[in-house]
Structure 1
Amino acid sequence: MPRQMRPDIADIRTGADLRQWYWRKDELVAHARTLGLKRSGAKFTILDRIAHFLDTGARDLPEAPAPKPTSDFDWHSAKLTPDTILTDSYKNTQNVRRFFKAQLGPRFAFSIPLMAWLKENSGKTLSDACAVWRDLQAERRRPGWQSDIKGHNQFNQYTRDFLAAHPDLGMDDVRRVWARKIQQPSPDGRHIYEPSDLDL
């Protein structure tokens, strides 16, 4: 049976059909523009918006209102100390960066795990956040440590898995096989490395 090749996005008629293919964000933005849909947001938000439109004809996704922060603490200009309590209005600002650099040294940098921890831990202190950063740094020094790759970064995960399976191959090989891989459908639009990919 011949392999099904990825159709032109303009030929897709249902949300399910749209979701079985890999689309770059710029392709989704261009198609949303063609359909007269809102184009802002993360890649998967735009994908959801187009799929919803294809299935229902409705131009907007039903959205729950974002909770309003109860704190009016100004993370941009307030004086920060180790005892400063994280609030539900926390923001990663230059003021916060300066505080962390003063406490942790010039090597401090925000990381995705630290930023997530800061957002999710209202009531903890900046001192607690410093301890979390130190723990994260120690974890990174462990042999065999690998960062988590978020689910929306399919290419990054594919690259890691491909190169782990084929250490003798390089990025040109990854890109060549990936370009063929994303031309194939998948049940959920996710493209993961499989040993048979070299045969594509």
Structure 2
Amino acid sequence: MNGRPNLDKQLSGKTFCSFYYLKEELVDFCRENKLPTSGGKIEITERIACFLDTGEVLPVHTKTKKPSNIDSILDTEKIEPDFVCTEKHRVFFKERIGKSFSFNVDFQKWLKENTGKTYSEAVSAYYQILEEKKKGKTAIGKQFEYNTYIRDFFANNAGKSLEEAIQCWKYKKSLQGHNRYEKSDLIALL
């Protein structure tokens, strides 16, 4: 046999398995032959091989989700050292804060820096972090000088474009010294 054969009912399972087919080709074959299309590529391949050899349709393997045995966290419990965001923590915070809760970077940082404080204090800190974000000026990490520069550029130059901000940033970083925005950087736009 020269080249890859078309995927059709005339193939044997062995021949079919000796060639590479894209998953979308496998799914198309399944649809044409009324086979289930669910599952990963390996499962679909096994289903097609069995069908080609025997005409039988293998049942779909369904995974039953195990009920989660998540221990609950008490408000008075202390944040553990080396805090790691887990499903148990997510459940706790969603119960206290609501469905909109997410482990944002600032909150994760707070949790890691406040070992020994209670989870009740963590909930309060989450709301405080959200309030600070609403006020606008959240801290940008020291390593993100570009982001800080661009934010400060726009804070001082309403109506200027991102291209102009980038032009000033390139000028600034070519100079010796700090990389914080200064009004004098606008010389780069002349």
CA deviation digits over 1:164-188, x for unaligned, max 9? 22111021111122123222222xx
Structure with more relative contact order (C-alpha pairs < 8 Å, separation 6 or more): 1
Letter in 2 for 1:149: I
Structure 1 vs Structure 2 CA RMSD: 2.2
Indicate the residue corresponding to 1:137 in structure 2: 130
CA deviation digits over 1:85-107, x for unaligned, max 9? 21113112343223212321111
Indicate the residue corresponding to 1:168 in structure 2: 159
CA distance in 2, matches of 1:181, 1:102: 47
Matching residue within 100, 109, 112 for 1:107 = 100
Matching residue within 73, 77, 80 for 1:87 = 80
Q: 1:139 to 1:196 in 2, by over 3 A?
A: closer
Letter in 2 for 1:178: W
Verify the 8 A CA contact 2:168 2:186 in the aligned structure 1.
yes
Matched, 1:194 2:148: no
Deviation for aligned residue 1:108: 0.9
TM-score by length of 2: 0.54
Q: Secondary structure at the match of 2:125?
A: helix
Letter in 2 for 1:80: S
Verify the 8 A CA contact 2:93 2:123 in the aligned structure 1.
yes
The alignment-based identity, stated in percent, is 29
Within 5 Å, which residues of 2 pair with 1:18-97? 79-83=71-75, 84-97=77-90
Verify the 8 A CA contact 2:132 2:138 in the aligned structure 1.
no
Q: Secondary structure at the match of 2:166?
A: helix
CA distance in 2, matches of 1:119, 1:108: 17
- List 4+ stretches of structure 1 deviating above 3 A: 138-141
Letter in 1 for 2:168: V
Q: 1:80 to 1:90 in 2, by over 3 A?
A: farther
Matched, 1:179 2:170: yes
Verify the 8 A CA contact 2:73 2:88 in the aligned structure 1.
no
Letter in 1 for 2:95: A
Verify the 8 A CA contact 2:94 2:100 in the aligned structure 1.
yes
Q: 1:96 to 1:192 in 2, by over 3 A?
A: same
TM-score by length of 1: 0.52
**Which residues of structure 2 form unaligned runs of 5+?**
1-68
Letter in 2 for 1:104: I
